[in-house]
Chain A
């Protein structure tokens, strides 16, 4: 039913953390390949839950999630790990392993492909190491390969996070508020980096964000959520003030 251009198909997805209080109600979305989609909406409206349901860091209550033609919900653990390899994730608080070096953090992207024993002894293939150096160059951190992750600034850490995600050579990249902890200038740099890498490598991106201007500037498609459901799904040019009022409520914050 889904075309080969659909990388991800979400149907009737619902999630309740406690019975009777759904955070996501009957959400249905299709995502095409090589598109950058921004999900916007007020805090607590389920944007983060939606992103995390896709790679099942949060278990959906009901619904279907088809990724590259495979149903993810209720997939057994080994198969789920294989699917997760193809989905990279960038986090709001970077979620790097603080005590490890930048290089070790980037190589985490290959953990889905090597055995635990090799990972423990840090025995990665030469191609993987070459790719890691290459990606560190792309994100502008080539000199910092041996620095400990907790010695980096926020922007630098997010670059490592992006390198780690791209290291998986994924077809889909999820970003959960990647710029919410960064200053405005760094936020733009990170979004530019993310979208450039994604377009170069043909990776589809689903980004969660607060900053509407940032979303309009970098995304091909904007999905607006309110109250656990979709209220807007179109190109950024169609995102008018009226729609924003409907999504976020109130007027004072609109310029």
Chain B
């Protein structure tokens, strides 16, 4: 075979890749067949969905006191769980970082983080309800565990990606270990850490609306009860309020990131907002 006819190694078809892609496709077709999915069910489902949606609207806010009490409790659960979880993830995540710690310290910490992450917050909430009884405490503890699992893991991974040269230089000055961490490690991961914290706050806000279903406090219990009583217009009111709550949390997260990461102060943000409003008014006046 001359070099012109022999296939170039880099362009040879990936036979194994093709095989696995076809196998995957075959599995998808097979699995769908097993799932009892038929066009009649989809059709009936759409019809039922339309009927259900009509019963949702208009939303019924008459029982707003119970609604706001539940929302407030969810908010408290989320904030407390985030605070406690973040405070605990700092040392746990630090010890779990393999580039800073010896193996006998980092592996147990990583085990703790994996265990905290393994179960869905609702399952953990069921366990805590059994342990400490119904109410918000179970919800807070469950979401704290979830926070440690998430923030701890990401924090440890962020630390493992830092430049050790900066750490080496701080060590060479004779600084004690905690100073090395505070000055050599933390500044490198601080911005990402704030990102993790705001993401976890949002996640806890969403999960806090759910843990109520198993009795761990918050709006979830009210929502589930309303659903079971077929109070669909009240259900709709609760859903809309939850969306509003999450949006407020989103705004808060934005401000937190601006303050900590970009170093913007509240006064700056206020001034910028005023300035942009004034600029817009001037443009309107010019157009007239």
Interface string of A90-121 (1 = CB under 8 A from B): 01010111111000100011111011100110
Which residues of B28-77 have CB atoms within 8 Å of chain A's CB atoms?
Answer: none
The answer to whether the Cβ of A47 comes within 8 Å of any Cβ in the partner chain is no
The answer to whether the Cβ of A89 comes within 8 Å of any Cβ in the partner chain is yes
Tell me the smallest distance from the CB of A158 to a CB of chain B, in Å. 12
The answer to whether the Cβ of A221 comes within 8 Å of any Cβ in the partner chain is no
Query: Are A84 and B165 within 8 A (Cβ)?
Result: no
Total A residues in contact with B, Cβ cutoff 8 Å: 33
Query: Are A85 and B174 within 8 A (Cβ)?
Result: yes
The answer to whether the Cβ of B179 comes within 8 Å of any Cβ in the partner chain is yes
Interface string of A152-188 (1 = CB under 8 A from B): 0000000001001000100000000000000000000
- Known contacts A91-B165, A119-B179; A100 and B173 CB within 8 A of each other: no
Query: Are A95 and B173 within 8 A (Cβ)?
Result: no
Indicate which residue in B166, B170, B179 contacts A98 across the interface (CB closer than 8 Å): B166
- Known contacts A57-B168, A96-B166; A108 and B173 CB within 8 A of each other: yes
The answer to whether the Cβ of A55 comes within 8 Å of any Cβ in the partner chain is yes
Query: Are B175 and A112 within 8 A (Cβ)?
Result: yes
Query: Are A111 and B169 within 8 A (Cβ)?
Result: no
A109 to B170 alpha-carbon distance, docked (Å): 8
- Known contacts A98-B166, A99-B187; A116 and B176 CB within 8 A of each other: yes
The answer to whether the Cβ of A82 comes within 8 Å of any Cβ in the partner chain is yes
Specify the main secondary structure of chain B where it touches its partner: helix
The answer to whether the Cβ of A197 comes within 8 Å of any Cβ in the partner chain is no
Chain A, residue nearest B185 (CB)? A97
- Known contacts A95-B166, A98-B166, A100-B187; A84 and B172 CB within 8 A of each other: yes
A81 proximity list for chain B (CB < 8 A): 174-176
The answer to whether the Cβ of B123 comes within 8 Å of any Cβ in the partner chain is no
Interface string of B166-198 (1 = CB under 8 A from A): 101111111111110111100110100000000
A27 proximity list for chain B (CB < 8 A): none
Indicate which residue in A55, A98, A120 contacts B172 across the interface (CB closer than 8 Å): A55
B163 proximity list for chain A (CB < 8 A): 98
Query: Are A116 and B182 within 8 A (Cβ)?
Result: yes
A109 to B182 alpha-carbon distance, docked (Å): 14
Tell me the smallest distance from the CB of B65 to a CB of chain A, in Å. 45
A97 proximity list for chain B (CB < 8 A): 166, 169-170, 183-184, 187-188
B187 proximity list for chain A (CB < 8 A): 97-100
Query: Are B166 and A111 within 8 A (Cβ)?
Result: no
Query: Are B168 and A95 within 8 A (Cβ)?
Result: yes
A57 to B177 alpha-carbon distance, docked (Å): 14
**Contact sample, A vs B, 8 pairs, CB 8 Å cutoff:** A84-B171, A97-B169, A97-B187, A99-B187, A109-B173, A112-B173, A119-B179, A120-B179
Interface residues of B (CB under 8 A from A): 163, 165-166, 168-179, 181-184, 187-188, 190
The 4 A-B residue pairs whose C-beta atoms are closest, nearest first, are A112-B174, A116-B178, A111-B175, A84-B174
